[in-house]
Amino acid sequence: MLVNRMPRYEILSEEAVATLDRGWRRIVSELGVEFILPEAAEYFAKAGQKVEGDNVKLDPEFVLEQVRKAPSEFDVQARNPDHTVHIGGDHMAFASVYGPPFVRQGNIRRDATMEDFENFCKLSQIFPELDSAGGTICEPNDVPLDSRHLDMVYALQTLTDKPYMGSVTSGPNAADTLAMTDMLFGGREAIEQTPAVISLINVNSPLRFDDRMLAAMLEYCRAGQPVVITPFLLMGAMSPVSIPATLAQQLAEGLAGIALSQLIRPGTPVILGSFLSNTDMQSGSPSFGTPESATGLLCTGQMARHYGLPWRSGGMFTSSQTVDAQASYEALMTMMPTFLAGTNWVMHSAGWLESGLVSCYEKFIVDIEILRMLHEEFTPLEIDEASLAFGAHEEVGAGGHFLGAAHTLERFRDCFYRPLLSSTENFERWQRLGGRDATERAGEIWRQKLEEYEKPDLDPGVESQLAEYVSRRRTELGD
């Protein structure tokens, strides 16, 4: 995984930080946050907070007291120890796209299937730029709704050996994820000692946590597994049409959720999440890859560090319907500030298309190329006497060229970044080879990579145990 030692790009003044701090404090204490699960609200009531039905009004100092119990850094183990990730500090971990119900493959847009889900698991395993396949890489519509979470977790566990994300659509689904994770890692004690599954808990913004997400959150926190508390904010729809107002709301919702996590189990790992963009005020559609989302991302990183929390944001976001220039520049508009801000857990790092409705094979490869380049760009430059290559100057002299110099011949294979996708052919050669654009080349790459895929080793007994659990639970669920 990437350790980003570049300086952080911080744009908020001390006064701005203090103003945002006052903003979220006023929201949680005067307006409160709704927790639509009695058991969740009861945690706050027992802790002395003001609970009126679903609404919980919080003492800001109490919230910060709970937030301080959350670790600033932690590990998430993978079944291949080489792929264990560290969350927090200078570390950045990248996971693929999450949640789309549709898939795009070339010019075809269709419902996602289980085969697509498995393909994206394999692609996530293949590319080292991705530290995790994520969770719901796409929503496989050809398997029963009640039990598809079992198939998805099983695929994540068997087709990859990287960390994965758990099901959050209900408490029982979360319990299934935990049971299967126990099997994979040798029991509950092993995963409580070092977490093994990350789960996304979205806030039903504005200012509401729904019962299904809360039920899943309780399961994961009780088991000591990290949750990503993420306000879902599109300015103009789920928050005011103002970046500062949205940032204050994001902090109110995120810190309130983190406080609950620490009431459930003090010290449980947690990640402050941010999914912040804006609504197109002409069409009412969500916009992605916008200057506003980039600004919000940079501010979120600064505030997360202010409170000593690991954080999640960014991704290869685009509103584009196809893999075109818009898809690329909007993706980079979000991923560049993601690196500048040093995001710790980055979802949607490969494959996102059409405002998150589509997981796209070709976009997956385009995004991997962007990730590869940014990894290189954010590797600190080392300068020493040898790197100055004085001997090459002595050999070539004034007016010469360096193509045949000993220094070049010794280093030409790996002295510069070699692209996965980009073409550097001259026009004549490019035309002779078919005149393929980046989207066509991306299609060839993902197909070739899937042909080359090798399933990572897994103890047959463990795999059989997992398969039996999936089969038994599917029957119990009526599927």
Q: What is residue 479's predicted lDDT score, i.e. its pLDDT?
A: 81
Helix, strand or coil for residue 385? coil
- Please give the C-alpha separations between residue 435 and each of 423, 427, 432, in angstroms, as whole numbers: 10, 9, 7
**Domains detected in the chain:** 2-9+67-377 (3.20.20.480)
- How do the pLDDT tens digits run along the chain, 479 residues long? 999 999 999 999 999 999 999 999 999 999 999 999 999 999 999 999 999 999 999 999 999 999 999 999 999 999 999 999 999 999 999 999 999 999 999 999 999 999 999 999 999 999 999 999 999 999 999 999 999 999 999 999 999 999 999 999 999 999 999 999 999 999 999 999 999 999 999 999 999 999 999 999 999 999 999 999 999 999 999 999 999 999 999 999 999 999 999 999 999 999 999 999 999 999 999 999 999 999 999 999 999 999 999 999 999 999 999 999 999 999 999 999 999 999 999 999 999 999 999 999 999 999 999 999 999 999 999 999 999 999 999 999 999 999 999 999 999 999 999 999 999 999 999 999 899 999 999 999 999 999 999 999 999 999 999 999 999 999 999 98
Residues 6+ apart with CB under 8 A from 341: 8, 9, 297, 298, 300, 301, 302, 313, 314
- Please give the C-alpha separations between residue 171 and each of 23, 139, 188, 212, 413, in angstroms, as whole numbers: 33, 19, 17, 7, 52
Q: What is residue 322's predicted lDDT score, i.e. its pLDDT?
A: 97
Report the interhelical angle of 114-126 vs 361-377 (nearest 10°): 20
Report the interhelical angle of 325-341 vs 361-377 (nearest 10°): 40
Q: What angle do CA 460, 461, 463 make, to 5 degrees?
A: 65
**The model's pTM:** 0.96
Q: Which residue in 130, 114, 138 sits closest to 162, CA to CA?
A: 130
DSSP states of 333-381: HHHHHHHHHT-SEE---S-EEGGGTEEEHHHHHHHHHHHHHHHHHTSPP
Q: What's the rounded Cα separation, in Å, for the pair 300 and 32?
A: 21
Q: Which residue in 72, 74, 117, 120 sits closest to 96, CA to CA?
A: 120
Pull the structure tokens for residue 178. 């935990």
Residue type, position 59, single letter: D
Q: What's the rounded Cα separation, in Å, for the pair 389 and 409?
A: 13
Q: Which residue in 86, 274, 344 sits closest to 195, CA to CA?
A: 86
Q: What is residue 423's predicted lDDT score, i.e. its pLDDT?
A: 93
Report the interhelical angle of 171-185 vs 211-222 (nearest 10°): 30
Sign of the C-alpha dihedral computed for residues 234, 239, 242 and 245 taken in this order: negative
The predicted-structure confidence for 167-226, as pLDDT tens digits, reads as follows 999 999 999 999 999 999 999 999 999 999 999 999 999 999 999 999 999 999 999 999
In the chain, the largest separation of any two C-alpha atoms, in whole Å, equals 81
